[in-house]
Amino acid sequence: MQVTDKAGTIRPGEEIDPGRVKTFLHENINGLKGNIVITQFPGGFSNLTYLIDIGGKKMVLRRPPIGAMVKAGHDMGREYRVLKALYPVFPYCPEPLAYTDDTSIIGAPFFVMEKLSGIILRKDMPKGLCFSRDQAENLCRALTNLLADLHAIDIKKAGLD
C-alpha cells in the first residue's frame, strides 16, 4: 500500500537542468557528494515540486509553475524567508537549505529544503488508507493542537512581523 506521494518522471516542459542545480547546491550546501537524481512529485495545485537526491541526501526543490503570471502567489523568496523564521521555533517545519532568485539556473527563482516524510491528506484519501472513528478524532485533535501551537508562536521574536 502506497500512501505517501512518490516522485517520478518529470512532466514534459517542466524539466530542470541537473548540472546547474547540482552546481548551485554544491555552492550553497556543505557536504554534498555523489551524483544528482531529480524526479518530480505529481500532486499539488500550485508550485512545482521536485525531489533532489545527491548521494543519498534527499531534498525538495520548489519553484513557480512554468509561465506563472501571479508573482505574489508564487513568491519563492517569501516562502523561503517564512520557513527560515519558523524552522528554529516550530519542530514540524522543514529546514530551508538554499534560495536563489537567479533565473539563469532553472528559469525561475527557487528554494531547496530538507525532505520530510509523511502523508499529505487531500480531498480523496490514498487507496488503502482508512481511519477508524477514534483514529480520525485523534488526527483532528492533533491537527487542531498543532495549529494552536503554530499560532502561538511569537511572530516578533521569530522575525515574522
Quote the mean pLDDT of the chain. Answer: 90
User: How confident is residue 68, by pLDDT bands cut at 50, 70 and 90?
Assistant: low
Residue 47, all three cell numbers:
508550485
Evaluate whether 109 touches 101 at the Cβ level (below 8 Å): yes
CA distance readout (Å), 72 to 7, 69, 137, 150: 27, 9, 36, 23
For the chain, give every domain's residue range: 18-130
18-130 placed in CATH 3.30.200.20: yes
76-86 average pLDDT score? 95
Residue 8, all three cell numbers:
517520478
Q: What is the DSSP string of 16-54?
A: --HHHHHHHHHHHSTT--S-EEEEE----SSSEEEEEEE
Distance of CA 156 to the CA centre of its chain: 24
pLDDT in tens, 96-117: 999 999 999 999 999 999 999 8
- Contacts of residue 18, Cβ cutoff 8 Å, sequence gap at least 6: 36, 37, 38
User: How confident is residue 7, by pLDDT bands cut at 50, 70 and 90?
Assistant: confident
Residue 135 in this model has a pLDDT that exceeds 80:
yes
135-139 average pLDDT score? 92
Rounded to two decimals, the pTM is 0.89
pLDDT computed for residue 6 by the predictor: 84
In terms of pLDDT, which residue wins out, 122 or 65?
A: 65
Residue 1 in this model has a pLDDT that exceeds 60:
no
User: How confident is residue 46, by pLDDT bands cut at 50, 70 and 90?
Assistant: confident
pLDDT computed for residue 118 by the predictor: 83
